[in-house]
Amino acid sequence: MNRDARASLPAPARPPASARWFDSLSFRLFALTLASILFVEALIFVPSASGFRNAWLQERVQAARIAALALDAAPSRMVSDELARQLLHNAEVLNVSEMEDEMHFQLLDSKMPIEGTPYALDLRSTTMTSRVANVFGAFFAPKDRILVISTEGTAEGRIMEVVVPQAPLKADLIAYGQRIAGLSLLIGLIAATIIYVLLHFLVVRPMRRVTTSVEQFRMDPGSWTRRLNPTARRDEIGRAQNALADMEEAVADAFRQRAHLAELGTAVAKINHDLRNSLASAQLVSDMLARSDDPRVQKAAPRLERALTRAINLASETLDYGKAAPLPPDLQPVNLRATVDEAAAEALSAWPEVEFVNDLPPPRMVEADPEHLHRLATNLIRNAAEAMVSGASLPKRITVTLTPEGVDFIDTGPGLPASAQENLFRPFAASTRKTGTGLGLVIARELATGMGGDLQLAATGPTGTTFRLTLPDLAV
């Protein structure tokens, strides 16, 4: 690739810095999966702990009931203090009593003072909300709290009260929570690992290939050959990979074509430069031949001069179009009629038989670049004259007039064929003349758009063709 082609290409982007492991998509998927599972387990733990606490209390109440049944086998429903302490110890309670008609009956008493803050708890009327609240209360309760549990008694109409220290309940709840946390962490790690492996092969690896391809393609889109291969996947990642593969191929082909065009442009510029020098020498010889007295030379000299002029114009137009960008317009007040008259005088010098009518108002001023406007008008008038002369049109007249839509350049030529209309403003494609390049109208339109206007084909047919020039301040 030559120096001009390399200069026209964008500079390679800086290679991306390697991402840290905790910034990778794999780690984030793993961490989010694990956190999600632990969060769900935490939500499940609250009702689970509530059930554990309720079961713990029911076990103590049931043990107290069984211990109270020992009174039925004792004479006069009385047991010794030693046996009462043993029964209470086995039931893991401090005291068991019953109430009936506001009468209090002591069933089992250890005869030991009970120290602590009593907390009444009625198991006969609990709700889900109260059980959940009591779970959190158990974790933050003082160490000396004593639970006074009320439940159904041994006989109908009786209420049994069981006194239980809360410290064992708190310790069991903490141990239960630790077991649940450990089990949840183990389940979370296993589930996160399984999900991570599946996502790694289904999402992360394909996205890594796509990301690597994008980064490498960004660094060198013109010559990178390890393009991303298309995939048979039909999901979003598969469609993205296939779209990226197509884009890489299209962009790489465009860069390759651009490089070839740049090289071709450089070659054409060199050829045109040498050709113009040769044509200039040939034109000097033509001028010398024109001064010859030989009738045959005098007859052939004008044709030779016109051929050399067309060749020089061809080289100049090709070089003008090959420039990277036209010079920016120097907008200033311009007399529209005078500029068009000058352009007509230059364009029609070789066709004196063509009549030119300038219907533009004399004082009309517009904001435009005088050189660009002159070149544009010269091109349009010259094209119209050549079309009428080559088509043997009668009459041969070019009229320039101002309309509410813009400046109209009207000729009486044979009109444009359909093939020329389709490619009118495409370079090297719209010319209807054997010696034309198809660049005249392309350059003229670029000059018009550079001044903030446009050039369009307004009408064409057997009676003539009209081109319309619009500029920002051309309204009548």
DSSP string, 164-200: EEHHHHHHHHHHHHHHHHHHHHHHHHHHHHHHHHHHI
Query: Residue 230 and residue 251: Cα distance in Å, rounded?
Result: 16
Residue-level pLDDT at 468: 94
In which residue are the tokens 């999600």 written?
36
Check residue 341 and give its pLDDT: 92
Residue with tokens 């007859």: 299
- Segments in the chain below pLDDT 50: 1-18, 324, 430, 434-435, 476
Question: Measured between alpha carbons, how far is residue 228 from residues 26, 224, 232, 236, 245 in Å?
Answer: 21, 11, 13, 16, 5
Query: What is the pLDDT at residue 290?
Result: 65
* Residue length of the chain: 476
In whole angstroms, give the CA distance from residue 467 to residue 382.
Answer: 13
Alpha helices (H) in 103-165, listed in sequence order: 128-140
So what's the pLDDT on residue 57?
A: 85
Q: What is the pLDDT of residue 470?
A: 92
Distance CA 40, CA 28 (A): 18
Assess contact for 377 and 343: CB atoms under 8 A.
yes
Q: What is the pLDDT of residue 50?
A: 84
Q: What global pTM score does this model have? A: 0.41
Torsion of CA 454, 380, 441, 405, to 10 degrees: 20
Amino acid (1-letter code) at residue 71: L
In this prediction, residue 317 carries a pLDDT of: 59
Residue 121 tokens, joined: 């708890």
Q: How far apart are CA 444 and CA 462, in angstroms?
A: 24
Helix (H, G, I), strand (E, B) or coil at 24: coil
In this prediction, residue 17 carries a pLDDT of 46
Looking at residue 358, what is its pLDDT? 93
